[in-house]
Structure 1
Amino acid sequence: MMLLEPGYLCAYDFPLVHFTRQKNIVTSEVSDQYAVDSPSTSRGEKGHLGAAIQSEQEFSQLYQIFAEEFGTVYGGIHRKSGKHVAVKLIDKLKFPPNKEDLLRTEVTILQKVHHPGVVDFQQMLETPDRIFVVMEKLKGDMLEMILSSEKGRLSERITQFLVAQILVALRYLHNQNIVHCDLKPENILLTSNSDFPQILVALRYLHNQNIVHCDLKPENILLTSNSDFPQVKLCDFGFARIIGEKSFRRSVVGTPAYLAPEVLRNKGFNRSLDMWSVGVIVYVSLSGTFPFNEDEDIHDQIQNAEFMYPPNPWKDIGDSAIEFINGLLQVKMNKRFTVSKALSHIWMQGYELWSDLRLLEKAVGERFLTHESDDARWRDFEKSHNLTPVYV
């Protein structure tokens, strides 16, 4: 078992290339208690900074968050709007020409998607020497939340809350044929305007739009605050791919510890790659360790329950959680849980989770995680158990 170690903040690898905007693809089908994916606002109506930015002088209080070979990410404030933003600065003279296609794909995806479970792209600016990409600035990420917890791992309740949101965001992406390909805790950002959790709800939303994250892992699940129940937003689409429901791709993607066996063996992958990553994220969140040793065969390790789930800490974790993880960590892609199947699993269907998600929706001011068709069922449950009604 590999111990979970601190990582870096989400790198916000968002290149600057000019593309026309594309409308979101939404569906009306409801298969479980989670909300139908139907974003109510376009990128032009929500999350923008007003007039187009003209120079870096429009930002104040800049400080470095993350530095890499070809660029640096800064936090700061947009002077006119007063919004806290993350600004990715790319040095055009150092950026390799053979990586331009990846940048174009990432920008296309960022301009296309708009969902409460995906980090909001703001604006871009290009000068003769540099490129500036402006994103919303969040408070932290899922990895930080796990590492800063008292036991170095999260409770089932909080993990369920975060995972529901991740899955709903993934469903949205997958429904648009977008596979993230690099899901991990560092790429799962957390907001500050809520008090409750969400990963699976986000994934289903993505998958229903034919979007596959492709690298689900705690680092790729960002949190909006340091509260116990923050809103989740997926970030870092640098490895994301456009993959149809029945399509396969062969390319280098993701972070090895969160990648499915088919990618590590270079046998081609599809949107189910994101679901394997979710399984690793859930395991890491509940235990504070990685499920596999890199130098041993994954298939052999999965068959060894004593190795996968040692008494400490798994004796204190419910059987349904372990069953949920096993459904995601399936070596055969056709047996691996889809977003919809994960969201409909018993581990994701309890009253406590539903009530937590409803409270988050109240704080956010938008219903995007639960569905009104379940309200009557849970109202009856509250009455029969003499519970105080949660916000509906």
Structure 2
Amino acid sequence: MCEGLKRDYQVCEEVGRGRFGTVYRCFSPDSGDFFACKTIDKRLLSDSVDRECLEKEAKIMHLLKGNPNVVQLFNVYEDDNYLHMVMELCNSSDLYDRVSKRIFSEVEAAAVMLPLMEAIAHCHRRGVAHRDIKPDNVLFDDRNRLKLADFGSADCLHEERSMRGVVGTPYYVAPEVLSGRDYSEKVDVWSAGVIMYIMLAGIPPFYGDSATEIFDAVLRANLRFPTRIFHSVSPAAKDLLRKMLCKDVSRRFSAEQVLRHPWITSGGGERSMNDLT
């Protein structure tokens, strides 16, 4: 373990584990606060792409500092074998745990979508695409404030080049990512639309019994609202879902447009279709 980390923090119990790293709770004697320490074993990184993602994650988190709905990075320590990132601690259950237990009302779903889209819009304004928006990466702190996390798959937007490469998680990945075409930051809007659909319906909009079947369904992008599930969901909510889960990227809403939609601005309350723009 890095000397700097041991000097500044007391590393406590494990609270999470990923493909390359482990997350520990840690304590700062100076501030009296607890944090999360993401420790990555660099020896497990198999290729240059993994190493590039590792180096990029800390830089991107520094770039996104200051937004209350993005997990904050406080310190980075590194030696020959490990990288340690000390971040905000989110003690509460993540969105995956919450959506797996029940269906959300529209007001409850809007209370998640507003800060989530504000976090995504902040990323896009700073020139960052998250590329792995999913419930597992939507965390909550001990005051139940939403925090977008895990920027290991994120990339910076460049005018001179588009993003490529299959990145993301089957149910949430946008069709243009799977098609092998260049894509933009609007892949995050698609993924957030899938989250909204799942909160309201309890099932994903595009599904299958295997990753291949899920990908085929995503590529077809045949968005449906089964009556037995959506009978009590408002026209405004369905309108927003159509605009977020639009296969035509040129017509798909941006994060800023989602934030201006009546369903979001009304907090998921009843709004007339005449209010929709």
- TM-score, normalisation: structure 1: 0.61
Distance 1:313 1:351 in 2: 21
Is contact 1:247–1:270 with CA below 8 Å preserved after alignment?
Answer: no
1:125-178: CA deviation from partner (whole Å, max 9, x where unpaired) = 223433221111012311122224xxx121110111111111111111111110
Distance 1:140 1:243 in 2: 31
Q: Which residue of 1 aligns with 2:256?
A: 340
Is contact 1:174–1:271 with CA below 8 Å preserved after alignment?
Answer: yes
Distance 1:337 1:53 in 2: 47
Q: CA deviation at 1:244?
A: 4.0
Q: Which residue of 2 aligns with 1:257?
A: 171
Question: Cα 1:92–1:345, aligned 2, differ >3 Å: closer, same or farther?
Answer: closer
Is contact 2:22–2:39 with CA below 8 Å preserved after alignment?
Answer: yes
1:283 maps to 2:197: yes
1:226-282: CA deviation from partner (whole Å, max 9, x where unpaired) = xxxxx2111111111111479521123111210111101111210111111111010
Mapping for residues 265-304 of structure 1, pairs under 5 Å: 265-294=179-208, 295=213, 296-298=216-218, 300=220, 302=222
Provide the identity percentage: 27
Question: Cα 1:242–1:265, aligned 2, differ >3 Å: closer, same or farther?
Answer: same
Distance 1:348 1:142 in 2: 18
Q: Which residue of 2 aligns with 1:75?
A: 25
Q: Which residue of 2 aligns with 1:218?
A: none
Is contact 1:89–1:133 with CA below 8 Å preserved after alignment?
Answer: yes
Question: Cα 1:317–1:272, aligned 2, differ >3 Å: closer, same or farther?
Answer: same
Choose the corresponding residue for 1:124, options 49, 68, 76: 76
Distance 1:351 1:91 in 2: 43
Choose the corresponding residue for 1:140, options 93, 106, 120: 93
Mapping for residues 1-392 of structure 1, pairs under 5 Å: 54-56=4-6, 58-60=8-10, 62-98=12-48, 99-114=50-65, 115-138=67-90, 139-148=92-101, 152-193=102-143, 225=144, 231-244=145-158, 248-294=162-208, 295=213, 296-298=216-218, 300=220, 302=222, 308-350=224-266
Identify the structure with bigger relative contact order (alpha carbons < 8 Å, sequence gap 6+). 1
CA RMSD in angstroms, aligned pairs only: 2.3
Distance 1:352 1:283 in 2: 13
Letter in 2 for 1:134: V
Partner secondary structure for residue 140 of structure 1: coil
Question: Cα 1:158–1:246, aligned 2, differ >3 Å: closer, same or farther?
Answer: farther
Distance 1:94 1:144 in 2: 28
Letter in 2 for 1:258: Y
Distance 2:115 2:237 in 1: 16
Where structure 1 has 5 or more consecutive residues not aligned to the other structure, the ranges are 1-51, 194-224, 226-230, 354-392
Is contact 1:53–1:124 with CA below 8 Å preserved after alignment?
Answer: no
Where structure 2 has 5 or more consecutive residues not aligned to the other structure, the ranges are 270-277
Distance 1:351 1:158 in 2: 9
Distance 2:207 2:43 in 1: 40
Distance 1:328 1:59 in 2: 42
Is contact 2:246–2:252 with CA below 8 Å preserved after alignment?
Answer: yes
Partner secondary structure for residue 107 of structure 2: helix
Is contact 2:111–2:267 with CA below 8 Å preserved after alignment?
Answer: no
Letter in 2 for 1:81: S
Letter in 2 for 1:342: V
Question: Cα 1:255–1:79, aligned 2, differ >3 Å: closer, same or farther?
Answer: same
Letter in 2 for 1:140: S
Is contact 1:179–1:274 with CA below 8 Å preserved after alignment?
Answer: yes
1:284-313: CA deviation from partner (whole Å, max 9, x where unpaired) = 11111111124244465526xxxx222332
Question: Cα 1:153–1:54, aligned 2, differ >3 Å: closer, same or farther?
Answer: same
Q: CA deviation at 1:180?
A: 0.6
